[in-house]
A and B are shown apart, each in its own frame.
Chain A
Amino acid sequence: MCSQCETAGDEGTLAIRFSFDGGPATVSASMTVASTHRRDSVALGAAVGLVGITFGVLASTAGLPLIKAMAMSLLVFTGASQFAAVGVMSSGGSPVSAVGGALLLAARNSLYGMRLSERLTQHGWKRIPGAHWVIDETTAMSVAQDDEVAATEAFWWTGAALFFFWNLGTAVGVVVGDAIGDPEVYGLDAAFPASFVALLGPHLATAPGRVAGLVGASIAIVAVPLTPAGAPILLAALAIIPALLLPNPVAVSPGTTAEEAP
């Protein structure tokens, strides 16, 4: 089901997991799991870097200089919001509607933050810089892990890989600009949904998870023609209500015993 669990094999004998909050290093009993999610983090980062090139090209076509495009990728660091803001501005929209729409898209990161706060081992001030990396991909990679230590490590690895590649991609996109042509020719827009399909397994292992997923996708699709950009994804959060009406399985959170749950 989860790619982290299935793709182990070719790598290493004993993986060392180090905890990022400065605690003592612990030797992983589950051998290759740690190295697998590290490799997946870098793979996801590379894919996101390609999408970053797309953003750079778009920003460049919209007339943004390199320094402003880089400021967005470094400081905003939320892909969907960046695309929305630049898209609205380039189609002649006002700064208020550009920023408003982008913030609507960024609001879901609050929900991710709540979910991640119970899985990450950091406490106190260390959460404050880490919050900058709370986005779709880091949440997906982190909550797909079996335990808190792996979840924390997956969060930091994915965050670092994405931050590096997203900003590198943005710079490349701005510099090469139109020379690269239409990035969609390479199917780049399929990378993001595909990576989430690959990370969904553990979430859909329980009945409430499947209901939340199905209803969430349905709400979003129905809402697209009816609401402004950014609203469909927030409305999809309402899908947790029907999911809550189902009996609570042994483990709601993916990982631990989700595979055995009915």
Chain B
Amino acid sequence: MSWAAILVLAAGAYGFKLAGVLVGNRIEHPLLRRSISLIPPALFCALIALQTFERDTDLVFDARVAGLVVALFATWRKVPFIGVIVLAMAATAVARLTFG
């Protein structure tokens, strides 16, 4: 990874972040505002699905699914935030140890 590649990536990544912050403030149309407010649920659920089932542009069913199931259950049972994370990690580690 060359310095040029790192700096281009850094500039591009910051550019995307800043553009959103600067443009977002100028959007006033109610429909667009509503659209923006619906972005987090759409993207967060997509991220959860990708982080659980994606591996190198393929879909796999592995120990991460155990973590997701435990996280959903723990959240439903109102386990505190850090507890949800620790339980999910433990479930994935145990499933990986058990099933390989």
Tell yes or no: A6 within 8 A of B by CB: yes
Within 8 A of B (CB), among A164-211: 184-201, 203-204, 208-210
- Known contacts A75-B6, A117-B24, A117-B25, A199 near B42 by CB under 8 Å: no
- Known contacts A98-B5, A194-B67, A224-B53, A244 near B31 by CB under 8 Å: yes
Please determine whether B89 and A188 come into contact, CB atoms closer than 8 angstroms: yes
> Which residues of chain A have C-beta atoms less than 8 A from B19's C-beta?
110, 113
Task: Tally B residues with Cβ within 8 Å of A.
Answer: 77
Within 8 A of A (CB), among B37-56: 37-54, 56
Please determine whether A118 and B24 come into contact, CB atoms closer than 8 angstroms: yes
Tell yes or no: A31 within 8 A of B by CB: no
Report which A residues bind B (CB closer than 8 A). Answer: 3, 6-7, 39-40, 43-44, 46-47, 62, 64, 68, 71-72, 75-78, 81, 85-86, 89, 95, 98-99, 102-103, 106-118, 123, 127-128, 130-132, 134-136, 139-140, 143, 184-201, 203-204, 208-210, 212-221, 224-225, 227-229, 232-233, 236-237, 239-240, 243-244, 248, 252-253
Nearest B residue (CB) for A127: B21
Q: How far is the CA of A233 from the CA of B21 in the complex (A)?
A: 19
Q: How far is the CA of A6 from the CA of B86 in the complex (A)?
A: 18
Please determine whether A236 and B1 come into contact, CB atoms closer than 8 angstroms: no
Please determine whether A132 and B14 come into contact, CB atoms closer than 8 angstroms: yes
Known: A112-B20, A229-B56. 4 other contacts (CB 8 A): A111-B43, A131-B20, A196-B44, A212-B38
Please determine whether B81 and A198 come into contact, CB atoms closer than 8 angstroms: yes
Please determine whether B59 and A75 come into contact, CB atoms closer than 8 angstroms: no
Report which B residues bind A (CB closer than 8 A). Answer: 1-10, 12-14, 16-25, 27, 31, 33-54, 56-59, 63-64, 66-68, 70-72, 74-75, 78, 80-82, 84-85, 87-94, 96-97
Q: How far is the CA of A47 from the CA of B67 in the complex (A)?
A: 14
> Which residues of chain A have C-beta atoms less than 8 A from B54's C-beta?
224, 232
> Which residues of chain A have C-beta atoms less than 8 A from B72's C-beta?
197
Please determine whether B81 and A40 come into contact, CB atoms closer than 8 angstroms: yes
Please determine whether B67 and A193 come into contact, CB atoms closer than 8 angstroms: yes
> Which residues of chain B have C-beta atoms less than 8 A from A43's C-beta?
81-82, 85
Please determine whether A112 and B12 come into contact, CB atoms closer than 8 angstroms: no
Nearest B residue (CB) for A251: B37
Please determine whether A240 and B16 come into contact, CB atoms closer than 8 angstroms: no
